Structure formats: structure tokens, C-alpha cells
Amino acid sequence: MEFVKLQLEAPLAVVTICRPECRNALNRQVYEELIALLCQVEAMDQIRVVILTGAGDQAFAAGADIAQMVAQDALAGRQLSALCHRAADLLENMRQVTIAAVNGYALGGGFELTLACDLRLAAEEARFALPEVTLGIIPGGGGTQRLARLIGVGRAKELIFTGDRMDARQAENLGLVNHVVPGQELMAACRALGQKIASRAGYAVSLAKSAINASLDIDRKNGAEREQDLLALAFSTRDKQEGMEAFLARRRPVFQDF
């Protein structure tokens, strides 16, 4: 892999977008490598949490590669958008928990990748925007779909119609970012949160992720049904027995299902 690096620190995996000379801009190859790598990681039983970040201290990712897009026609644009969606859908739906470590600019497609992660932690220096309308296009990696669900339609429309930038505190106030920390503490904060999540029953966490995601896509009644079915599935696991017996015996549980 040339532009996306994987560091395995089981139970964590750190995935880094590496094109620092152009603020980690996302060209086709970056998306293809990211998709291939996320598919690999999803198959790894020992990995419970994926931390996605950008190389250097300037940018998480400054969006799709404008130098590549400038020469592209409608079909190529559509294909690029499909790739962005595929990467975002993987982050959103993979069985591992995904954390965006936003270390600088998260613009356009970069912002959209963070929106697809389960959790977002930001450095104080982080900046977020969907500036596509300043380039004559619209967000194509799920921004028009996911942002409104996270912060409401009115706020999402203002950000997308203006292309305005938001700093980390503004993003936190909107509920977009879980925590803001000094830049040099960002990866440690992500690892600490990742370790805490990884210490819980892994299969139960993935079932909870699936149930919460379903609540965004299906109506309340079917969502409630899904929750009950997934809870029943959790009752069938060794971890349920272990977690409850450990509680009653006043000892630490040793979880194994994933």
C-alpha cells in the first residue's frame, strides 16, 4: 500500500492516510487502498477498534484530490463518488468500532470519512468543512446524507450551502465531535478510549453498533424489533454467561466472543 498504512496494535488497529505533501488529499488510489485495508481488518478477530487518522499534523484529509478531479467527466465523478461511499459504508458498518482521530483539516471527503466513523475525537487545531460548492460540485461521499442526521437539517444545510469552516470546539458544541484534546494528546486519547471499548464484550459491542445504526435506517417499530432480536442473540453467547457469572462472583469477566 502506498498511501494508506496499517499499524496493528491488537486489540487496536491504526489506519493512516499518508499523502502529507498534499494534505492527505483523497485520490482514487487512496480510496481503493483504504477499502482493501478495511476489508482486511474487518476479518481480523483480534482487532476490536479501528482508529482512522491522517499523516502529519496539518490534515486528517483535505478532501478529494482536486488535481485529479479537474480532468474528470461525469462518469469518472460518479465512480469516484461510489468509491467514497464504499469506504464510508465500510467504516459505518464494519463489526469493529471506528474512531476518527481528526488531527487537522477534515474537508470534503475527509470530513465525510469522519462522519461515517462511530466516534470522532479532534485535536484543538482540527477544522471541518464541506467546501464542495466553492468548487462547483456537491458533497459526494455521504455528506448530504450523514451530516443532517448528526446535527439536524438546518445546520447541515448552512454548512453545505456556505462551505464555511468550523473549528473543533464548534464541532464539539454541535455534537459532531465526542472530545476535543490538545493535538499532541490526540492519539493517546483515541487509544485510551479504544482500549476501554475493547475491554467490553466484543460481540455485544458490535451488536449494539448494528442496533444503533438500524435505528437511523428503519422505522421505530422495526428498530425496536431489531433490538429485541439482537438482544436475544446476545443471550446466546458465552460472553453473556461469563459477564453475568463474573458479576455475581465479584470477579473480572474474561470475554471471548467476536
Dig out the grid coordinates for 139 from the structure.
458533497
Q: Which has the closest alpha carbon to 254: 199, 196, 197, 209?
A: 199
| Beta carbon of residue 54, minimum distance to ligand COA (angstroms, whole number) | 11
List, in order, residues 6 or more apart from 232 with CB less than 8 Å away: none
- Residues in touch with ligand COA (CB under 6 A): 22-23, 25, 59, 62-67, 105, 107-108, 131-132, 135
Question: Rounded distance, CA 208 to CA 200, Å?
Answer: 12
- Catalogue the long-range contacts made by 151-157 (C-beta closer than 8 Å, 24 or more residues apart): 151/175, 151/176
State the cell numbers at 54: 491522517
Identify which of residues 33 and 239 has a Cβ nearer to ligand COA in the complex.
Answer: 33
Catalytic residue among 9, 21, 125, 132: 132
Strand-pair partners of 15: 6, 52
Pick the catalytic residue: 21, 32, 42, 112?
A: 112
- Rounded CA separation 229/210 (Å): 11
What is the nearest approach in angstroms of ligand COA to the Cβ of residue 19? 9
2 catalytic per annotation: no
Q: Are 13 and 50 in contact (CB under 8 A)?
A: yes
Extended beta strands in 77-162, E state: 97-102, 105-107, 119-123, 127-129
Residue 53 CB, shortest distance to ligand COA, in Å, is 16
The least CB distance from residue 163 to ligand COA, in Å, is 8
Of 64 and 88, which has the nearer Cβ to ligand COA? Answer: 64
**Nearest in space to 194 (alpha carbons), one of 49, 1, 76:** 49
Q: Which CB sits closer to ligand COA, 14 or 69?
A: 69
Q: Which is nearer to ligand COA, 60 or 255 (CB)?
A: 60
Distance in angstroms (rounded) separating the CA atoms of residues 14 and 124: 20
- Catalytic residue status for 92: no
d(CA 188, CA 32) in angstroms, rounded, equals 28
CB 58, min distance to ligand COA, A = 6
When the beta carbons of 132 and 172 are compared against ligand COA, the nearer one is 132
Active site residues: 112, 132
